[in-house]
Structure 1
Amino acid sequence: MFGLIGHLTSLKHAQLVARELGYPEYADQGLDFWCSAPPQIVDSITVASITGQKIEGCYVESCFLPEMLANRRIKTATRKILNAMAHAQKHNIDITALGGFSSIIFENFNLEQFRQVRNIELEFERFTTGNTHTAYIICQQVEQASQKVGIDLPEATVAVCGATGDIGSAVCRWLVQKTDVRNLFLIARNQDRLQELRTELGCGKIMSLEAALPLSDIVVWVASMPRGLEIESQIFRKPCLLIDGGYPKNLATKIQHPDIYVLNGGIVEHSLDIEWKIMQVVNMDVPARQLFACFAESMLLEFERLYTNFSWGRNQITVEKMEQIGHLSIKHGFRPLPV
């Protein structure tokens, strides 16, 4: 059995979804209540592969909300993720994906040191961040979408915002090793990590966000949007392709221009309908078919009976592993969300 650990985008969103999923006692409660709410399995899932296989899984709502980080409730946020992992393991889920902020919190706050959660010793091989599949899908979206919108990828300038993160660094490795991209801009807050990444890649130019955006034909955004940042469409080249790989996805509402193409990055479409409810409440356009690539990674591992933390740690993703999970993605009927 596979599992998905997720969370909702805001307190308001959580209250709305709680009512829709049949948890009225959660629907009218404030942030303090959600800080103490335990994880819940709120959805059962059935997925069929184009190979004819069928697997079962469940969605674990962690009850984490981004407002917990904004209000400096770091201990609460970390406890939410660990409790959700323990809840999944207690229900004998073989492989579980950490979706959204779950994997970011786990890595940034070094939660691997907290193996004991009450009476459960976490078996980390039961969990995957899903970042390898997400990075692969974003790279496929860059290659496929650039061609559709008339951008010559080998001649293009590509900016990766969040280049030193797990997904961002993997995207950079793929672009350098698997495409003929001529100009690569590396954007992140930590200058030391940027220098290390550039040394590893053997190419790329370290740039500030403000300097890079007007010069870029393709922007891969895999970092959180800086608070208060306003981006006007006139600063971008035309045409320009923006891959929004963050969560929640909000570039499409901020930037609207007929020659700027905004694509929800890291989203896959399945060839067959998935039996579940949860994607209906996270505003997927086709909820029976579309899902986050990180979630799909746990499904792929379940199809293949690969019960291992396929994606784990920071900046460990190799092009070879991206190709491996990409092969499985195609095999079982997943494809990148198109423009």
Structure 2
Amino acid sequence: MFGLIGHSTSLEEARSKALALGYPEYAEGDFEMWCVAPPQLVETVHVTSRTGQVIEGAYIDSVFVPEMLSRFKTARRKVLSAMELAQKNDIAITALGGFTSIIFENFNLLKEQHIRGTTLEWERFTTGNTHTAWVICQQVERNAPLLGIDLAKAKVAVVGATGDIGSAVCRWLQRTGVGELLLVARQQQRLQELQSDLGGGRILPLEEALPEADVVVWVASLPQGLAIDPASLKKPCLMIDGGYPKNLDSKFAGEGVYVVKGGIVEFWQDLGWQMMEVAEMENPRRQLFACFAEAMLLEFEGIHTNFSWGRNNITLEAMELIGGASLRHGFQALGLDPARLGQLAAV
């Protein structure tokens, strides 16, 4: 059995979704109530692979909302409690999604293996970052040519290059053979280490990298107060919005700038669940985060281990393995809006 640990994008949204999911006490609760509320296993689902294999899974809402990020103890407790609930339900492999994965890594919860009377078994959990990195690379490789961008000559900026997903994307695209990698991140020491590991790539600040880039892969949150003139970007420019929450559309979308929601896949048939409606997917019956899909893929493949774990441990071999499984079982990376591509073709 696989598990997914997620959350809503805001308290307001969480309260409205709670009512729809049959939790009126949560819908009426204020912020302080949500801070102390325990996680809930809200839904189970059966998933059928293209191969005909059927698996069972469960969605656990961590009852976390982004407004809690400033409260370290609350955020820590929410993630660990949700993991404890998954383990107590004997779920073999569970994916951390959205901020739960970010909290786990940034707050170094590996040091917090004990929650109440439970010792968490790390092999039961995965961040899903390997599949996310592979999906983002597929989105670059498949969509850039549709805009007339030749990747062999293109400059590809990776914003958040030193993170777990960003560094994996850099390694994959370097092997693919893009024109030049532009490496963007906050910590210069890590950037220099990544550049050395890659044996190439050019380190640039964000404001210098964006105007040069034919393709921008965002795997970091937008800096507060960021002001970039879309007119300064190349035309066409492909942007893969791999951060969370996904909000590049409102910041950059315009003539000649094409934004793809990064790290999202679409299943080959409808899934009988409500859980992705909480995430406001365009097609919630089929679309889901690639990190969640990783848990499904590991269950399909019988790989019950923390496949994605720790910072910068993603290998190209692991990306190939999970990518092959993704295609085999019926997942497809989300692409450019067909309507916008049609407008481009008409020009």
For Structure 1 versus Structure 2, the TM-score category normalised by the shorter chain is: over 0.9
Q: Would you say how many aligned residue pairs link Structure 1 and Structure 2? A: 336
Letter in 2 for 1:143: E
1:109 alignment counterpart: 107
Measured against aligned partners, the alpha-carbon deviations of 1:112-152 in whole angstroms (never above 9, x if no partner) come to 11111111110000000000000000000000000111111
Runs of 4+ residues deviating >4 angstroms: none
TM score, norm. by length of structure 1: 0.97
Distance 2:160 2:8 in 1: 22
Q: Give 3-state SS (helix, strand or coil) of 1:322's partner.
A: helix
CA-atom RMSD, angstroms? 0.9
Measured against aligned partners, the alpha-carbon deviations of 1:227-279 in whole angstroms (never above 9, x if no partner) come to 12233321211000000001111111222213111000000011121111111
User: 1:37 and 2:34 equivalent?
Assistant: no
2:284 alignment counterpart: 287
User: 1:205 and 2:178 equivalent?
Assistant: no
Letter in 2 for 1:260: V
The alignment-based identity, stated in percent, is 61
CA contact (8 A) 1:49 1:272 kept: no
Distance 1:49 1:176 in 2: 32
Gaps of 5+ in 2: 337-347
Distance 1:298 1:251 in 2: 27
Question: For residues 154-165 of structure 1, what are the structure 2 equivalents within 5 Å?
Answer: 154-165=152-163
Letter in 1 for 2:46: T
User: 1:139 and 2:137 equivalent?
Assistant: yes
2:296 alignment counterpart: 299
Larger mean Cα displacement after TM superposition, 123-132 or 181-190: 181-190
Q: Give 3-state SS (helix, strand or coil) of 1:186's partner.
A: strand
Distance 1:16 1:222 in 2: 29
Distance 1:151 1:288 in 2: 32
Q: Give 3-state SS (helix, strand or coil) of 2:144's partner.
A: helix
Q: Give 3-state SS (helix, strand or coil) of 1:155's partner.
A: coil
User: 1:196 and 2:165 equivalent?
Assistant: no
Q: Please report how far the alpha carbon of residue 30 of structure 1 lies from its aligned counterpart in structure 2 after TM superposition.
A: 2.5
Q: Please report how far the alpha carbon of residue 15 of structure 1 lies from its aligned counterpart in structure 2 after TM superposition.
A: 1.3
Q: Give 3-state SS (helix, strand or coil) of 1:288's partner.
A: coil
Q: Please report how far the alpha carbon of residue 67 of structure 1 lies from its aligned counterpart in structure 2 after TM superposition.
A: 1.1
Measured against aligned partners, the alpha-carbon deviations of 1:160-213 in whole angstroms (never above 9, x if no partner) come to 000010000000000111x12121111111111111101100001111011111
1:252 alignment counterpart: 249
Distance 1:218 1:274 in 2: 32
Distance 2:259 2:96 in 1: 25
2:92 alignment counterpart: 94
Q: Give 3-state SS (helix, strand or coil) of 1:242's partner.
A: strand
Distance 1:24 1:92 in 2: 28
TM score, norm. by length of structure 2: 0.95
Q: Give 3-state SS (helix, strand or coil) of 1:306's partner.
A: coil
